[in-house]
Amino acid sequence: MHKATFGAGCFWGVEAAFRCVQGVLETAVGYMGGTLENPTYEDVCTDRTGHAEVVEVVYDPSVVSYAELLNVFWRIHDPTQRNRQGPDVGTQYRSVIFYHTPEQEQTARASRERLQQSGKYKSEIVTEIQPATTFWRAEEYHQRYFERRGLRPCT
């Protein structure tokens, strides 16, 4: 099994999108990329810890490739928005790919470049590509947020 980590705005919707992908075995929402040890949601919401809201995806590469996960990532948010997605504003909502291997870094950079060159966006893609750091799991009430409220995002 392999791991991928993505930030694309509020982690609730991002997690829901990845949970619908065949080959994704598990997901968890949390925080990555900041300076504070063991941050809470309240800490991250101050926009002073440097963390992004992220989804950690465990997947089976014999069923879904990392490149296919990147396609989902690009499709579910606007990668030209710096430090925001929709009404959510702050560095915690930035578009970011945290890579776990040199191969993931190479694939992510090539994918971003292809998308930029495609002409789909008139503005520059501002998605950051950074090495993965410590993943801090978010509070339980954030995990599978939509499902806990009776919503079925995959139907």
pLDDT at 153 over 80: no
Q: Does some domain include residue 97?
A: yes
Q: What is the per-residue pLDDT across 116-151, written as a single tens digit (0 to 9) for each?
A: 999 999 999 999 999 999 999 999 999 998 888 877
* Domain presence at residue 48: yes
Q: Which residues contact 4 (CB under 8 A, 6 or more apart)?
A: 56, 57, 59, 66, 69, 100, 104
Pairing of strands 136-137, 24-32: antiparallel
Tell me if 153 is assigned to some domain: no
Q: Is residue 27 a part of any domain in this protein?
A: yes
- Which 3 state secondary structure label does DSSP give 150? coil
Asked if residue 155 is part of any domain, the answer here is no
Note the pLDDT tens digit of each residue in 14-29. Answer: 999 999 999 999 999 9
Please give the distance of CA 55 from its chain centroid, rounded to a whole number: 5
Residue type, 5: T
Which residues are part of the catalytic machinery?
10
CATH number at residue 11: 3.30.1060.10
The pLDDT of residue 155:
62
Structure tokens at 21: 């992908």
With 0.75 as the threshold, say if the pTM is over it. yes
Question: Is 13 inside a domain boundary?
Answer: yes
Nearest to 113 by CA among 58, 60, 70: 70
- For residue 154, being part of any structural domain is answered with no
- The runs of H, that is alpha helices, within the chain are 11-19, 41-45, 66-75, 102-118, 145-148
- State the residue range of the domain holding 6: 2-148
56-70 tens-digit pLDDT: 999 999 999 999 999
What is the C-alpha to C-alpha distance for residues 123 and 150, in angstroms, rounded to an integer?
A: 37
Count: domains in the chain: 1
Residues 28-49 pLDDT 10s: 999 999 999 999 999 999 999 9
| DSSP symbols for 18-57 | HHTSTTEEEEEEEEES-SSSS--HHHHHTT-S--EEEEEE
Q: Is residue 51 part of a domain?
A: yes
Summarised one tens digit per residue, pLDDT across range 68-120 is 999 999 999 999 999 999 999 999 999 999 999 999 999 999 999 999 999 99
Length of the chain: 155
Token duo for residue 31: 């925080």
